[in-house]
Amino acid sequence: MLLRLQPSFSLFFRRIPIFQNRIFASSTAPRSDEECESDRTTDKTQNENTPQEDEASIVSMIGPYVSSKQIAFHTGQFDSEHIKKKNKQAFLDVIEAYKIQFPNRRGHVEFIRAALRRMKDFGVERDSESYKKLLSVFPVGPYRHQSMLQVSVRFWPKQNETASTIVSAMESNGIPPDLEVVHMLREIFGPWAHPVRRFARFLYWVPKFMNKNPYPIPWELPNDERTLAKLALQRMTSTVDLETKLVDIHSATDSSPNVEHPGAEHSWLIYTHTPKQTKLASNLPSDKPIYIEGPYGVYLRKKQLQYYVLKADPSPEYWQKKKDLEKFNTDDVSDLRSPFQPGASLYIPPSAHELDDGFILSLCIIGKPFTSLINCWLHHLRRNFMPDLNRIAVVDKTKLTEEKQIDRFYSSHLLSTPEFTIPHDTKRLAQEPRPWWYRDKTDDEDE
């Protein structure tokens, strides 16, 4: 009877703050007073050598009883001078060296957390063998749950949380589940522990949704920003309109005398166009301007790109189409009529580029944030695909408002150099060379 109640008593004392420093859940062997004193002396020396900033970042890691000093000690093992090249083999050698140095697996939780933090440095964050090697650090037997009570109250919390962290890292990095990992977790924690149940859900759902993404992106993204821009634009436009085409140009090779390009502002730009957008541009009224808005952010996994939108205000015909669509009840099948009957009208819905907040005419991603590249985009679009935009004013609503760009724009406008972007109303621009929000440096110094 006392043996059965022993886990309950140990759990009760574990929750008392006074006894937390006397419990060493990461150790499987009994500790003597000499070992405790030696640990305190080594912790003092390590605390003197470890910077406070690193220790603060280590303390921020999750885990109720995880020692930040031991994590700092084990993190130093991955920065050893004996490691000549950080790769997969070096990562596995460090884990094997720890298992030989500490056969009783003392401090294994701190070592695993330190290894998880350094996996990106060794390039093994997407390697399943490395995660299995980390799971092999756990000792088999001491943390196996003996009853459902231990499972429900989460006995050995930091070991369970560390194993769940490994499973979460595998899930976030897209590693396909493996039955070998399930067997390892069952041997360590038992068949009903929380890490085992979490990985079982991962094993059930991931094969079902692994290839269900309609917008597939490779896991290893290229480092070239130009290739990333093509992937981003294809992701945004390929499913909307299959006739979308990407135009990849460079401002240096596609220069024009109408576009002013300083030497440091030459870069690449990629934009999109479709026949439907060309037709929309031909039907736009000349008395209403079109707008350039942005930059907006689009993510490819953990990489962000910024794109710009050329759009126009919705036309009255578009709102009339929406009203006709609202009158027509698509769910009513009691009175079906053929559109080819006398007196019937054929309803043509708006295209995918016609939205309530505006008509999308083109998308663009530029290599450098300069207004000269925006002008090059408009010039190339007008010259090759949308000549009807020559009769329409363009209002620039972007956030590219550096002093040099503003100064060059207004000076070039005063010199009668044709520009394509008009940041403000044409009448006010003709009356005063500077907008109301632009301040000269001399005026600021006088104030």
SS3 label, residue 303:
strand
Are residue 201 and residue 246 in the same domain, yes or no?
Answer: no
Lowest mean pLDDT segment, chosen from 56-60, 64-68, 217-221, 230-234? 56-60
CA-CA-CA-CA torsion sign (293, 299, 304, 305): negative
Q: Are 99 and 137 in contact (CB under 8 A)?
A: yes
- pLDDT of 141: 85
pLDDT bracket for residue 298 (50, 70, 90): very high
- pLDDT of 425: 42
Last residue of a domain, one of 174, 208, 242: 208
Q: What is the residue-averaged pLDDT of the chain?
A: 75
Higher pLDDT, 427 or 358: 358
323-328, long-range: CB < 8 A, 24+ apart: 325/349
Are residue 204 and residue 233 in the same domain, yes or no?
Answer: no
What residue type is 313 in one-letter code? D
Are residue 365 and residue 314 in the same domain, yes or no?
Answer: yes
pLDDT bracket for residue 218 (50, 70, 90): confident
In a domain? residue 37 = no
Instruction: Give the structural domain span for 413.
Output: 225-321+350-446
Closest CA to 223 of 303, 122, 306: 303
Closest CA to 350 of 272, 283, 273, 271: 283
Lowest mean pLDDT segment, chosen from 185-189, 269-273, 408-412? 408-412
Are residue 172 and residue 305 in the same domain, yes or no?
Answer: no
Q: Are 389 and 381 in contact (CB under 8 A)?
A: yes
Cα 252 versus chain centre, distance = 32
Domain count, the chain: 2
Please say if the pLDDT value at position 415 is more than 70. no
Higher pLDDT, 350 or 54: 350
In a domain? residue 163 = yes
Are residue 394 and residue 253 in the same domain, yes or no?
Answer: yes
* Whole-angstrom distance, CA of residue 412 vs CA of residue 400: 17
In a domain? residue 328 = no
In a domain? residue 41 = no
Which residue reads 């037997």 in tokens? 141
SS3 label, residue 248:
strand
In a domain? residue 59 = yes
Lowest mean pLDDT segment, chosen from 17-21, 131-135, 242-246, 300-304? 17-21
In a domain? residue 329 = no
Are residue 84 and residue 162 in the same domain, yes or no?
Answer: yes
* Whole-angstrom distance, CA of residue 409 vs CA of residue 419: 8
Are residue 169 and residue 253 in the same domain, yes or no?
Answer: no
Are residue 272 and residue 357 in the same domain, yes or no?
Answer: yes
- pLDDT of 305: 92
Cα–Cα distance list, 372 to 117, 260, 379, 433 (Å): 43, 7, 10, 19
- pLDDT of 220: 83
Cα–Cα distance list, 38 to 44, 50, 55, 71 (Å): 10, 18, 21, 17
* Whole-angstrom distance, CA of residue 272 vs CA of residue 251: 16
In a domain? residue 300 = yes
- Residue-wise pLDDT tens digits, 237-289: 888 888 899 989 887 776 666 666 666 678 899 999 999 999 999 989 888 89
Last residue of a domain, one of 180, 208, 236: 208
Please say if the pLDDT value at position 122 is more than 60. yes
In a domain? residue 214 = no
Residues present in the chain in total: 447
Higher pLDDT, 323 or 170: 170
Are residue 389 and residue 292 in the same domain, yes or no?
Answer: yes
pLDDT bracket for residue 294 (50, 70, 90): confident
Are residue 283 and residue 251 in the same domain, yes or no?
Answer: yes
pLDDT bracket for residue 23 (50, 70, 90): very low
Q: Are 95 and 137 in contact (CB under 8 A)?
A: yes
CB count within 10 Å of CB 201 equals 12
Are residue 241 and residue 138 in the same domain, yes or no?
Answer: no
Lowest mean pLDDT segment, chosen from 22-26, 75-79, 231-235? 22-26
pLDDT bracket for residue 18 (50, 70, 90): very low
Are residue 63 and residue 188 in the same domain, yes or no?
Answer: yes
Last residue of a domain, one of 176, 208, 240: 208
pTM, two decimals, is 0.62
- pLDDT of 183: 92
